[in-house]
Amino acid sequence: MSAQAEKQTDNRDLVIERATELFWRKGFDDVSVDDLVKATGLNRYQLYQTFGGKRDIFMTILHNYIEDSQTSVGAILAETDVCPYDALYLCIEHKMLDPEIFPAGCLMCTTAVDVAAKDEEVAEIFNQVTDHMHEMFADAFRRGQAAGMVPKGRDPDAFAELSHALYFSTGVQARMGRTRESLAEAVRKTIDSVKP
């Protein structure tokens, strides 16, 4: 890759990083094109030439965020020496309680409230994400059962439903203003209450 191509890639990555934080903190509806211009350092022409409109840059960001989330959650759940219940807590701590972005919660949570209810494409993306995360949590539970960490009689799909609900509700509650400490305690107590 040439030096110029590397610089363009670095610039694009920086623009996406700045725009991601803006959408993450404010939500889709409350971000204007002027906000994006100010945050990214691009002028309107450069923004439209590089990404298209506001929705186009947002969809790029959303796809990147989902891929990153699924990769990082998948890596935590793939740890074979960690009980699935403890892995669930680690997933929530890593993605929803990260002190660097808290209380922004989860970009998917924000988007679900702002965008998915009125955008069929985003709603379908979220259905696919939900199905994929369900399978990741259920598979982690099955591996935990095979390793003797959790009882055989427990339902992996029930664990996946609990995990999904707890994971995303933590992001929503963070956005609502609940403190990080109280959320961490609530998540731990909830998991401990169902842990064998």
What's the domain count of the chain? Answer: 1
Does residue 78 surpass a pLDDT of 90?
yes
Burial of 48 (C-beta count, 10 Å sphere; 0-12/13-18/19+): middle
Residue 21 lies in a domain: no
**Residue 8: is its pLDDT beyond 50?**
no
* pLDDT at residue 34, rounded to an integer: 94
Residue 20 domain-assigned (yes or no) = no
Structure tokens at 164: 């999904």
Gyration radius from the chain CA atoms: 19
In a domain, 59, yes or no: yes
Residue 186 included in any domain: yes
In a domain, 172, yes or no: yes
Q: What is the pLDDT of residues 102-145, one digit of tens each?
A: 777 778 877 877 787 788 998 899 899 999 999 999 999 999 99
Domain-embedded: residue 176: yes
105: left (phi over 0), alpha (psi -120 to 50) or beta: left
* Higher per-residue pLDDT: 71 or 111: 71
Predicted confidence (pLDDT) per residue in 35-70, tens digit? 999 998 888 988 888 888 899 999 999 999 899 999
Nearest CA-CA partner of 42 in 25, 22, 65: 22
CATH code assigned at 129: 1.10.357.10
Residues 6 or more apart whose CB falls under 8 angstroms from that of 64 comprise 16, 20
Q: Is 18 within a domain?
A: no
Residue 131, domain extent: 55-194
**Domain for residue 157, yes or no?**
yes
Q: Model confidence at 95, in pLDDT bands (50, 70, 90)?
A: confident
